[in-house]
C-alpha cells in the first residue's frame, strides 16, 4: 500500500485540484487496503504484458493494483486500462489545456461556445452577481424578476464548480430572486426544465438521466470513445445526487451493458426502478454521438472531453454540460472498459510525438 500511495502522491504534486488528490487517496485507503486480499492476482504473463505495453510509452513500474482492481470489477485483463495517477499526471495535462478548463466549463456560456448546437436553455444567468438574459444582455434585478414570472417551473444550478448534483433544484412558480441569491449567492443559471425521452425515464422517473459521453480529438476528427448513462436516485431530480445512483455503460452498438455500477464501484444486474436495461437500445444514441463529435471540434484546446447529454422527448440530443475541469478515469473504465478504448495506442503515440 505504501508504494502505491507514494506513487500517487508524486503524481499529484503538481496537480492543481487538491480536492481530487485527497479523494483519490481516500479511495485507495478505503478500497485497496480494505480488500487487497480480495483483488484477483495477475499471472507472470499478464504482468509482463501490462509492463511491456506501458514501457513502450516510457512508463516503467506502474502500480499493478489498478489493473487488479479493474480486473476484479470488470472481469477483463486489459493492459490498456489506465491507472489513475498516470491519467491525471501525464495524460490529462498532455492532451488538455487545463488553464482554460474553468472558463469553458461555465454553464452560463455553454450556448455561447456551442452556437448552432442544442444546449440547455438559460432564461437567466448570474455571472459574478450580475444578471444576464438568454441573449447575454445585462439586466437590472427587477427585470430579472419579471422574466422569472413568465414560467411555471424552472431549474436552478451552479454554473461553475458543480459536483454530485449539489445546488441543482427544480423550482415552481412563484419565484423569488432574493431566495435564489440566498441559496446560490452568485454564478448560477436558471434554465427551462428538459423533458427526457420516455425510454430514458424508465431508468428512474424522478431524474433527468443524462448520457455521459467521452470524446477525443484525433487529427481532424472528433470521436466518441465511450459512454455511460447516469441514473439518478429515486425521488431525486439531479441524476448525480443521492447515494443510490447508478452508471450503466453503453456498448458501441448503442445498447446497454449487462451490469450497472454505483459510486462505490459495486456491480449490479438490476436497478431500483426494476427496468430491465441489459441489451436494450439507448434511444437516438447515434445522433447523440454525432452531436458530441460536432461540438468537440469547437473546443480544440481539449484533446478529450466529457459531455452530459439529455435525449429530449422528441429524440433531439441536448447538451447539458461539458466537463473539462474534473474529468475522471475510474467510472468510465469500470462501466465501459479501457478509457481510450480502440484509440489507446494512437493517442499514446501522439502524446510521445507531441512531447519529443
pLDDT in tens, 69-128: 999 999 999 999 999 888 988 899 899 998 999 899 999 999 999 999 999 999 999 999
Residues 301-326 have a mean pLDDT of 95
- pLDDT-based confidence at 223, cuts 50/70/90? very high
Question: Given this model, what pLDDT does residue 19 score?
Answer: 58
- pLDDT-based confidence at 175, cuts 50/70/90? very high
Question: Given this model, what pLDDT does residue 21 score?
Answer: 55
pLDDT greater than 60 at residue 8 = no
Q: 3-state SS of the chain?
A: CHHHHHHHHHHCCCCCCHHHHHHHHHHHHHHHHHHHHHCCCCCHHHHHHHHHHHHCCCCCCCCCHHHHHHHHHHCCCCCCCCCHHHHHHHHHHHHECHHHHHHHCCHHHHHHHCCCCCECCEEEEEECCEEEECCCCEECHHHHHHHHCCCCEEEEEECCCCCCCCCCEEEECCCCHHHHHHHHCCCEEEECCCCECHHHHCCCCCCCCCEEEEEEEECCEEEEEEEEEEECCCCCCCCCCCCCCEEEEECCCCEEEEEEEECCCCEECCCCCCCCCCCCECCCHHHHHHHHHHHHCCCCCECEEEEEEEEECCCCEEEEEEECCCCCCHHHHHHHCCCCHHHHHHHHHHHHHHCC
Neighbours of 115 (CB within 10 A): 8
Question: Given this model, what pLDDT does residue 98 score?
Answer: 87
Determine whether 340 is exposed, middle or buried from the number of CB atoms within 10 Å of its CB (0-12, 13-18, 19+).
buried
- pLDDT-based confidence at 171, cuts 50/70/90? very high
Question: Given this model, what pLDDT does residue 14 score?
Answer: 43
What's the predicted TM-score (pTM) here?
0.89
Q: Which residue has the higher pLDDT, 118 or 10?
A: 118
Cα–Cα distance measured from residue 280 to residue 229, given in angstroms and rounded to the nearest whole number: 12
pLDDT greater than 50 at residue 15 = no
- pLDDT tens figures, 252-306: 999 999 999 998 899 999 999 999 999 999 999 999 999 999 999 999 999 999 9
- pLDDT tens figures, 129-151: 999 999 999 999 999 999 999 99
Domains of the chain, residue spans = 2-94, 99-105+196-326, 121-191
pLDDT greater than 60 at residue 32 = no
Question: Given this model, what pLDDT does residue 1 score?
Answer: 46
Which class does domain 99-105+196-326 fall in? alpha beta
Question: Given this model, what pLDDT does residue 241 score?
Answer: 65
pLDDT greater than 60 at residue 60 = yes
Question: Given this model, what pLDDT does residue 354 score?
Answer: 61
- pLDDT-based confidence at 166, cuts 50/70/90? confident
pLDDT greater than 50 at residue 242 = yes
Average pLDDT for the chain:
89
Question: Given this model, what pLDDT does residue 89 score?
Answer: 84
pLDDT greater than 90 at residue 31 = no
Amino acid at each position: 500500500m505504501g508504494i502505491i500511495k507514494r506513487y500517487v502522491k508524486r503524481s499529484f504534486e503538481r496537480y492543481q485540484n487538491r480536492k481530487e488528490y485527497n479523494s483519490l487517496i481516500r479511495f485507495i485507503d478505503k478500497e485497496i487496503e480494505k480488500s487487497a486480499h480480495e483483488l484477483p492476482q495477475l499471472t507472470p504473463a499478464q504482468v509482463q504484458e501490462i509492463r511491456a505495453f506501458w514501457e513502450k510509452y516510457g512508463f516503467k513500474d506502474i502500480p499493478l493494483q489498478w489493473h487488479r482492481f479493474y480486473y476484479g470489477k470488470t472481469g477483463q485483463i486489459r493492459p490498456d486500462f489506465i491507472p489513475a495517477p498516470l491519467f491525471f499526471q501525464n495524460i490529462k495535462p498532455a492532451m488538455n489545456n487545463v488553464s482554460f478548463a474553468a472558463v469553458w466549463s461555465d454553464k452560463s456560456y455553454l450556448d455561447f461556445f456551442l452556437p448552432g448546437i442544442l444546449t440547455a436553455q438559460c432564461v437567466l444567468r448570474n455571472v459574478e452577481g450580475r444578471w444576464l438574459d438568454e441573449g447575454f444582455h445585462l439586466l437590472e434585478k427587477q427585470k430579472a424578476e419579471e422574466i422569472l414570472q413568465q414560467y411555471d417551473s424552472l431549474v436552478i444550478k451552479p454554473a461553475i464548480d458543480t459536483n454530485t448534483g449539489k445546488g441543482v433544484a427544480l423550482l415552481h412558480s412563484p419565484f423569488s430572486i432574493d431566495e435564489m441569491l440566498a441559496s446560490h449567492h452568485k454564478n448560477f443559471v436558471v434554465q427551462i426544465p428538459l423533458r427526457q425521452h420516455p425510454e430514458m425515464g424508465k431508468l428512474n422517473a424522478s431524474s433527468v438521466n443524462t448520457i455521459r459521453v467521452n470524446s477525443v480529438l484525433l487529427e481532424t476528427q472528433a470521436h466518441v470513445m465511450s459512454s455511460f448513462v447516469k441514473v439518478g436516485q429515486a425521488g431525486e431530480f439531479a441524476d448525480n445526487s443521492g447515494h443510490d445512483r447508478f452508471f450503466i455503460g453503453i456498448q458501441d452498438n448503442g445498447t446497454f451493458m449487462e451490469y450497472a455500477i454505483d459510486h462505490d464501484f459495486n456491480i449490479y444486474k438490476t436497478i431500483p426502478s426494476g427496468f430491465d436495461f441489459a441489451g436494450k437500445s439507448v434511444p437516438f444514441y447515434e445522433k447523440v454521438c454525432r452531436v458530441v463529435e460536432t461540438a468537440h471540434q469547437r473546443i480544440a484546446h481539449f484533446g478529450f472531453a466529457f459531455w452530459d447529454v439529455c435525449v429530449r422527448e422528441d429524440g433531439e440530443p441536448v447538451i447539458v454540460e461539458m466537463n473539462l475541469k474534473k474529468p475522471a478515469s475510474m467510472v468510465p473504465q469500470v462501466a465501459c472498459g479501457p478509457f481510450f478504448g480502440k484509440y489507446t495506442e494512437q493517442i499514446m503515440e501522439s502524446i510521445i510525438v507531441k512531447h519529443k
